[in-house]
Amino acid sequence: MADCTHDCSTCASNCGSRSKTSFIKPPHVRSHIRRVIAVTSGKGGVGKSLVTSLLAVRSQAMGYRTAILDADITGPSIPKAFGCHELATGTDGNIEPVLSKSGIRMISMNNLLEHEEDPVVWRGSLIAGAALQFWTDVIWGDIDIMFIDMPPGTGDVPLSVFQSIPLSGAVVVTTPQQLVEMIVKKNVNMAGLLSVPVLGLAENMSFFTCPDCGKRHEIFGESKAEKLAEAYHIPAVARIPIDPAMSSLADMGRVEEADTDALAEIFAEVVRSREIGNYLK
C-alpha cells in the first residue's frame, strides 16, 4: 500500500491494518436501533427514495417501530413523499425526529431548512458529516428497523455510511436499462468490499400493465433482475411496476397509502437480517 495515507475513513481498501469495526459510531445515547438497512444504487433517478418509503411503510404497517434516515443531503425527497414539511426540533445538539402520519420517525435535511427549496451547497466532507450526524445526534428512541435513503454513487456519503454505521444489510435499486445494470454492479461490489450483505434487488419501473387490455409491457427493456440476483447471490428480488397512482400518492405526500406488496420478499429478508448489537459492544 505505497499510496496509503493512514486515514482509513477515506479508503475503501480492505487491507490487513483495518479493523472491521474501527470506524463504527454508536447512535445517540437515547436510541436503541436493532436493524439498519441502506437503500442504495450506483445511479441517480432509479427510485431509491420510493423503495425506501415503501419498505418503511410496509414495516410500520406490520407493527415494527420504523425510522428513515435521509442521507441524500443535497437531494432530499423523503419528507415530501410523506407530507412531513415541519421543521425538526431539538436542544443542545440533540435533534428530535419528525413523525409521519402512521408514526414513522424520520430526519432529512429538508426538515432543517427554513425553505425546502434552499440548496445545500457544501463540499463532500461536510455532506458526509451531516449524514453521520443524523445517526449520532438524532434521538431515535426504540427502533426495530431503520432505512437509510442513500445518495447515488460510491463517493463520500455512501463510503462514510457503510464504514461508520453498523448496517444489517443493503437493498440495491435498479431499472431494466443495461447502462443502469452496469452501474448497479459497482454498488453491489462496493457492498461486498465492505462486508455488507445485499439482501435484495429492487427493479423499479420494471413493467407497465395496460389498464385497458391488461397486457404487461416492459417499456425500458427486458427485466434483468433475476439474472443479476442469481449472478451476485442476492436472495430476494422485487419488480416494481410503473404506476401513475403510486407516483401521485408520493407527490401528494400520501405514500403511506401506497401498495407495498411488490416488496414483500425483500422485506422478509430485512426482518431476517442480523441485528446490530454486536457492532456496538
Contact 216, 243 (CB under 8 A): no
Copy the grid coordinates of residue 185. Answer: 454492479
Contact 38, 177 (CB under 8 A): no
> Is the torsion defined by CA of 8, 25, 127, 64 positive or negative?
positive
One pLDDT digit (tens) per residue for the chain, 281 residues: 445 443 454 555 555 444 444 689 999 999 999 999 999 998 888 999 999 999 999 999 999 999 999 999 998 999 999 999 999 998 888 999 999 999 999 999 999 998 888 888 888 889 999 999 999 999 999 999 999 999 988 888 999 999 999 999 999 999 998 777 787 788 899 999 999 999 999 999 999 999 888 899 999 889 989 998 999 999 999 999 999 999 999 999 999 999 999 999 999 999 999 999 755 55
Level-2 CATH architecture, domain 24-280: 3-Layer(aba) Sandwich (3.40)
Kindly state the cell numbers that stand for 177. 436499462
Phi, psi of 186, rounded to the nearest 5 degrees: -60, -40
